[in-house]
Amino acid sequence: MVLVGSLSAAAAFTGPALPGTAPLTWGQRAYWLSAQRRGSSATLISMRRVMAMPRRAPSDVDSVLRAIGKLIERHSSLRTLIDFPRGRQEVVARGEQPVLVVPAELSDLDGTATAARLSEALAEQPFDHATELPQRVALVLTGERVVRQIVIVFSHTTVDFQATELVLRDLRLLLLRGAVPTPTGPQSADVGLAEQEEQSRRRGRRAVSYWVEGFRRLPVDTLPPVGPAEHPRWRRCVLVSSAADTALRLIARRHRVTSSTVLLSAVAGVLATWSGTDTCGIHTMVNNRALDRYQEAIAKINQLALVVVDLSGKPNFAEALPDVWHAAIAAYRHAYYDPAQMAAAFAEAGMPYATGVSPHCYFNDIRLVPTDTDLFGHDTTERAVREAMRHSTFTVGQGLEQFTWRLRIEVIDAPGGIGFALTGDTCHLPPPRAEQFLRAVEGLLVEAAFRAVPWPWAHA
């Protein structure tokens, strides 16, 4: 990949030679299934990170390249090649990480704008996992070869969200001190081998049983079609709301639950009333770091969980919060499994698994700093919160022709509030209908912040 004005460099590395190959991790197998289903949108699975140079670290290009090389030496996951068709991964003992060196534009004093454009450009093309290291790196310069920003686009094959944070933490230490004093956590190949042990297999079997029994309780279909599909078939719509942000914090503080539990409850309630069912299935992503051996793992160990939300008792919103929390905890405990075992069990039960478009909702809270109860700077009067709803913004963004979920909701950080990003099948949730859905979630949160909300919590 060549960008105008860029130079090619390389970060050399020599790490411990590891014998042979290892099986893919369960998370990698799940990634491969997802990538095959998503088709051209698989490039969206890469993770983009931009890190400003620490002020006290040497910022010449050679010093930064040495730190990157040491980082890859330290973490074998960053020098692992993946052969998905054969189900194997192999660690490279030595080599070079290609690095783009790009001068910032004259008007871009700290290089942040240039770094943002670079992260987009580096993520455009899918990784060739069998021959390419699982990250792409660029340095943004200002002045005379002074590095201001480091751009890394990680493939999701050997790291997950938490792993990228650990990797960047180590890179900062290498830039500042030249070394990291603590030992490394398990790497991708280590996890792949550990998952063949009987302890992991038993845990996986328990998770599979939970999924099969939970799936039997779910409706076959949710959110009936409301019209013909548009082109592109899926559209991403975003509602940004300061009112929902304040209401969410008020509810979490009052009922002593996490803000993610409140959000999950609100989405489940709207989904259940719109689909006319008392029980709904919500998938969410779990990092699996609660497992003792994996707290510092540099690997892709996050996997989907299945939350079965049963509202058949017709509770009011506050009454449902403990039940939703318990349902979420049960799901988190059963989010570590072998996808091949799961597929076989679903096939035996006569149910679909990881095929076609899932009619169930995918919910993911990807806020970087979800402050559950901090109300500093928020006007918490009902009048102010309801007035803030008038200033919520709704935008229609990118479209996709192929996707794996009828409805995906991501909770994101947004300036001045909280963002709800809904990617929906336009046959079921065209943008006007998607806006109504998100406004229903927002309205439910605001209402529940100030009074008891009886069932049904929302209306179609």
Report the pLDDT value the prediction gives residue 3, as an integer from 0 to 100.
56
- Model confidence at 378: pLDDT above 90: no
- Angstrom CA distances, 359 to 54, 305, 366, stand at 46, 15, 22
Report the pLDDT value the prediction gives residue 377, as an integer from 0 to 100.
77
Report the pLDDT value the prediction gives residue 291, as an integer from 0 to 100.
84
**Lowest-pLDDT choice from 72-76, 226-230, 291-295:** 291-295
**Lowest-pLDDT choice from 105-109, 208-212, 256-260:** 105-109
Structure-token pair, residue 316: 């009011």
Alpha carbons 114 and 116: distance in angstroms, whole number: 5
Report the pLDDT value the prediction gives residue 373, as an integer from 0 to 100.
66
188 burial level (CB within 10 Å; 0-12, 13-18, 19+): buried
**Lowest-pLDDT choice from 202-206, 290-294, 319-323:** 290-294
DSSP readout, 252-310? HHHHT--HHHHHHHHHHHHHHHHHT-SEEEEEEEE--TTSGGGTT-BS---EEEEEEEE
**Do the two domains 7-188 and 198-448 of this chain adopt the same fold?**
yes
- Model confidence at 93: pLDDT above 50: yes
Structure-token pair, residue 225: 């079609």
Report the pLDDT value the prediction gives residue 8, as an integer from 0 to 100.
87
User: Which CATH code fits 198-448?
Assistant: 3.30.559.30
**Lowest-pLDDT choice from 27-31, 67-71, 141-145, 189-193:** 141-145
- Domain assignments of the chain as residue spans, ordered by start: 7-188, 198-448
Structure-token pair, residue 369: 């700093």
Stretch 310-329: mean pLDDT, rounded?
A: 95
DSSP readout, 124-144? SSPP-TTTS-SEEEEEEEETT
% of the chain residues with pLDDT over 70? 95
- Model confidence at 19: pLDDT above 70: no
- Model confidence at 139: pLDDT above 50: yes
Question: Of 273 and 4, which is predicted with more confidence?
Answer: 273
Report the pLDDT value the prediction gives residue 2, as an integer from 0 to 100.
45
Q: Calculate the average pLDDT of the chain.
A: 92
371 pLDDT band, cuts 50/70/90, is low
Report the pLDDT value the prediction gives residue 41, as an integer from 0 to 100.
47
- Model confidence at 1: pLDDT above 50: no
- Tens-digit pLDDT profile for residues 184-195: 999 999 999 999
Stretch 168-173: mean pLDDT, rounded?
A: 98
- Tens-digit pLDDT profile for residues 381-420: 999 999 999 999 999 998 999 889 999 999 999 988 999 9
Q: Which helix (H) or strand (E) holds 94?
A: strand 94-103
- Model confidence at 113: pLDDT above 50: yes
Report the pLDDT value the prediction gives residue 376, as an integer from 0 to 100.
74
User: Which CATH code fits 7-188?
Assistant: 3.30.559.10
- Model confidence at 369: pLDDT above 70: no
Question: Of 415 and 151, which is predicted with more confidence?
Answer: 151
Which residues neighbour 146 within 8 Å (Cβ) at sequence distance 6 or greater?
A: 59, 60
Stretch 171-181: mean pLDDT, rounded?
A: 97
CB 157 within 8 A of CB 33: no
Name the pairing type of β-strands 80-83 and 234-241.
unpaired
Report the pLDDT value the prediction gives residue 106, as an integer from 0 to 100.
85
